[in-house]
Amino acid sequence: MKVPMLDLTEQYQNLKEEIHTAMEDVMSKAHFILGQNVKDLEASVAEYSNAKHGIGVANGSDALNISILGLEIGPDDEVIVPSFTFFATAGAVARTGATPVFVDIDPKTYNIDPEKIEAAITPKTKAIIPVHLYGQMADMDRIKEIADKHNIAIIEDAAQAIGSTYKRKKVGELGTTACYSFFPTKNLGAYGDAGMIITSDDEVGERMRVLRVHGSKPKYYHHVLGYNSRLDELQAAILNVKFKHLDDWSDQRRENAYYYNELLNKELSDIVVTPYEEEFNHHVYHQYTIRVPKRDELQAHLKEQGVATMIYYPQPLHLQPVFKELGFKEGDLPETEKAAKEAISLPMFPELTREQQEYVVANIKEFYKG
């Protein structure tokens, strides 16, 4: 048997006709940039996030970039970020000339540890970027308390977490802005790059709308330096079709996660640490990530048996060569460094079958217990 990390072909077959119709409609009207499909998607995703504005952009990394610029953060400013995340979270900060300040994670959830944020705040701190890693929201009440106390913004990196909730609050409801990625492998994936920023702040929202079109307002008059970063109509048309299925897909992911938990806790509870879901969180399992000893050997064994896995993320950002000048060294963020050595993500997508999951777990068992 072969078990891929992710298989998007079945989903495509199920939605093929609807998607082709939506794409043909865009092509026959020949309105390719910032048309009705983008407006509709912005409205649906903003409403879904209990927020006022959705601003479609070219990808999730630009959603972060434009959020930071929209909040008028730049050189001489500091932004608090986790180190255990995808590069874009900190890359976006550094791109604007601001300094990323790395904070360690809570080893149970892999999300930024609120207890360690306060010690990293200085008079230069302008924002915190909690990343809702693997599909579970960070501890937003604590983060918001700290942000309000110090009068700093929250930019939610929600690239992996569309549809997740925290104490019944949606992604995008508590942050100043929230950033979605519609990269094809994300829970709501386009057929290419796409992203969106969510905000309920009218002023910041308007600045970000202007920033995505070269800072042009009115057209051909520029007061700020922006980007060319737009979500295109074809991608929006596809996403409008797929969006209607998002909650069902999230439910299927959750069911798959609980089945993995059941299998792993039955046979391997002495070796494997299954994901921890806070009781007040609705985790959407963008990834199903476990902690294990001899992680790299397990990965090689599973590969031989036809089971794909991924390591998110093998090298923490505070130890990346590009951030050498920030002065972090090995040992500075122990929980992050430990997770980078122990975490491994198993195949996860809505259409994953029980048979496939049983095969994955049987091979993990074989590796540890022969």
Ligand X SMILES: *Cc1c(COP(=O)(O)O)cnc(C)c1O
Which is closer to ligand X, CB of 250 or CB of 357? Answer: 250
What is each CA distance from 332 to 94, 132, 202, 321, in whole angstroms? 20, 22, 39, 15
Nearest distance, CB of residue 181 and ligand X, angstroms: 3
**Site track for ligand X across 38-77, x = CB under 6 A:** ---------------------xxx----------------
Nearest distance, CB of residue 61 and ligand X, angstroms: 3
Instruction: Please give the Cα distance from 253 to 198 (Å, whole number).
Output: 24
Nearest distance, CB of residue 324 and ligand X, angstroms: 22
Nearest distance, CB of residue 64 and ligand X, angstroms: 6
Stretch that binds ligand X, among 11-19, 153-161, 291-299, 347-355 (CB under 6 A): 153-161
**Site track for ligand X across 87-126, x = CB under 6 A:** -xx-------------------------------------
Instruction: Please give the Cα distance from 26 to 22 (Å, whole number).
Output: 7
Does residue 344 bind ligand X (CB under 6 A)? no
Does residue 159 bind ligand X (CB under 6 A)? yes
Restricting to residues 224-243, name those near ligand X by CB under 6 A.
none
Nearest residue by C-beta to ligand X?
60
Which is closer to ligand X, CB of 89 or CB of 125? Answer: 89
Sheet hosting strand 78-82, strand order edge to edge: 53-57, 195-199, 177-181, 153-157, 125-128, 78-82, 99-103
Nearest distance, CB of residue 348 and ligand X, angstroms: 14
Which is closer to ligand X, CB of 130 or CB of 347? Answer: 130
Stretch that binds ligand X, among 26-34, 85-93, 136-144, 232-240 (CB under 6 A): 85-93
Q: Which of 19, 55, 103, 131 binds ligand X (CB under 6 A)?
A: 131
What's the residue count for the chain?
Answer: 370
Name beta bridge partners: 57.
195
What secondary structure does DSSP assign to 230-259, as a single string? --BHHHHHHHHHHHTTHHHHHHHHHHHHHH
Q: Which one-letter DSSP state was computed for residue 113? A: -
Site size for ligand X (CB under 6 A): 15
Instruction: Please give the Cα distance from 366 to 370 (Å, whole number).
Output: 4
Nearest distance, CB of residue 60 and ligand X, angstroms: 3
| Residue 304 CB burial class (10 angstroms; 0-12, 13-18, ≥19) | exposed
Name beta bridge partners: 80.
101, 128
Residue 179 near residue 42 (C-beta atoms within 8 A)? no
Instruction: Please give the Cα distance from 302 to 2 (Å, whole number).
Output: 10
Does residue 157 bind ligand X (CB under 6 A)? yes
Nearest distance, CB of residue 366 and ligand X, angstroms: 31
Does residue 85 bind ligand X (CB under 6 A)? yes
| Residue 303 CB burial class (10 angstroms; 0-12, 13-18, ≥19) | exposed
Does residue 134 bind ligand X (CB under 6 A)? no
> b vs e for 76-106, b when ≥16 Cβ sit within 10 Å of the residue's Cβ?
ebbbbbbbbbbebbbbbbbebebbbbbbbbb
Restricting to residues 175-194, name those near ligand X by CB under 6 A.
181, 183, 193
Q: Which of 135, 172, 195, 205 binds ligand X (CB under 6 A)?
A: 195
**Site residues, ligand X (CB under 6 A):** 59-61, 85-86, 88-89, 131, 157, 159-160, 181, 183, 193, 195
